Structure 1
Amino acid sequence: MTPSPATAAVRVRRAELSDLDDLVALEQATFDSDRVSRAQFRRHLDSDSARVLVASANRRRFLGTALVFFRKGSRVARLYSIASLPEARGKGVGTALVDAAEAAARQRRCQALRLEVRTDNANAIRLYEGLGYRRIGSVAKGFYEDGSDAFRYEKTLA
């Protein structure tokens, strides 16, 4: 499959232990709350139930990351976190990370990928809906540390 022009320059790979400092720095630069800690990233890098992905272009610093969780015996994966640097937004980084998360879920024979998104994050909502995600269930009240609500989304994987 040929990458779309929007994501052609963005490369996504599985994160390694040597990426830990960059993962933490990106997380801190991107989020004010609900951050994945250094200890959590370290645990997820070695975990069979998680996949940490990093996006970059031209071998420069990270442009974004994604964290996908898998539950033993479940055919549904969860996109737990996705982050991109402000200067990388609108350049295909989010799309490339979601595509890679879906590929990781398919490798694990998952039939769907679910995620939560802040109800006030219009850009992320537009991204997910544009990639075929559909809202499921009711609003998750007070989902985030700061009390913000979340929408839940799901995409069936072919």
Structure 2
Amino acid sequence: MTAAKIRSASLDDLSALLQLEDSFPEVDRFDVRTWRRLLAGKALTLVHETPRGIDAAAVLLFRARSSTARLYSISVATSARGQGIGGRLLAACEEHARQRGCARIRLEVRSTNSSAHRLYEASGYRVIAALESYYPDGEAAHRMEKVLIASSDGAP
């Protein structure tokens, strides 16, 4: 492997995914059981892999009969931040959602996570709701959304 690539994750990536979340607050980390369930087909999990290993991941959820995908998690290793990896993973998630016929993507982000807000806003997401005490530690979140496919009448 000579270059970085984005690919679907498998159970073989479990330990790397657990390590990747070490930079998250403990209450926001997925445990082994959650990762196993997500990797068993409950979600689309994409990883960014370099010759040194996995340095970023994103989890995208789809619901039956829903035109809205949900970005459940995106994480970039501290050592890999500032290189545009989060943006590339986000774009890959958006493309997968479009291919599945989703008209929009929604996500929740801590209201204090300014770097994530910058990433999402630069990618065309907008805040559609403020959610008080959303996280287990009581912190508020912003629900954000991006329209992927315009409706047939031209409205987003």
Provide the TM-score with structure 2 as the length reference.
Answer: 0.88
Match of 1:22 in 2: 16
Aligned partner of 2:99 in structure 1 is 107
1:154 match? 145
Matched residues, percent identical? 44
- Report the Cα distance in structure 1 between the residues aligned to 2:17 and 2:25, rounded to whole angstroms: 12
Per-residue deviation, residues 99-136 of structure 1 (Å, max 9, x unmatched): 11111111211000001111111111011000000110
Give ranges in structure 1 of 5+ residues lacking alignment. Answer: 1-8
Distance in 2 between residues matched to 1:33 and 1:91, nearest whole Å: 26
Confirm or deny: 8 A CA contact 1:10 1:93 kept in the other structure. Answer: no
Deviation of 1:11 (Å):
2.0
- Which of structure 1's runs of 4+ aligned residues deviate more than 3 A? none
* Superposition map of 1:74-153 within 5 A: 74-137=66-129, 139-153=130-144
**Secondary structure in structure 1 of the residue aligned to 2:26:** coil
**Which residue of the partner structure matches residue 45 of structure 2?**
52
User: 3-state SS of the aligned residue for 1:46?
Assistant: helix
1:132-154, Cα deviation, whole Å (9 max, x unpaired): 001102x1111112111001100
Q: 3-state DSSP class of the match of 2:45?
A: strand
Q: Using a 3 Å threshold, how does the CA distance of structure 1 residues 31 and 13 change in structure 2: closer, same or farther?
A: farther
CA-atom RMSD, angstroms? 1.4
The answer as to whether partners of 1:55 and 1:64 remain within 8 angstroms in 2 is yes
TM-score by length of 1: 0.87
| Distance of 2:115 and 2:29 partners within structure 1 | 19
- Which of the two has higher C-alpha Rg? 2
Supply the distance in 1 between the matched residues of 2:141 and 2:131 (Cα, whole angstroms): 5
- Give distance in 2, aligned partners of 1:32 and 1:40: 14
Give the corresponding residue for 1:35. Answer: 29
How far apart, CA to CA, are the structure 1 residues paired with 2:102 and 2:37?
Answer: 22
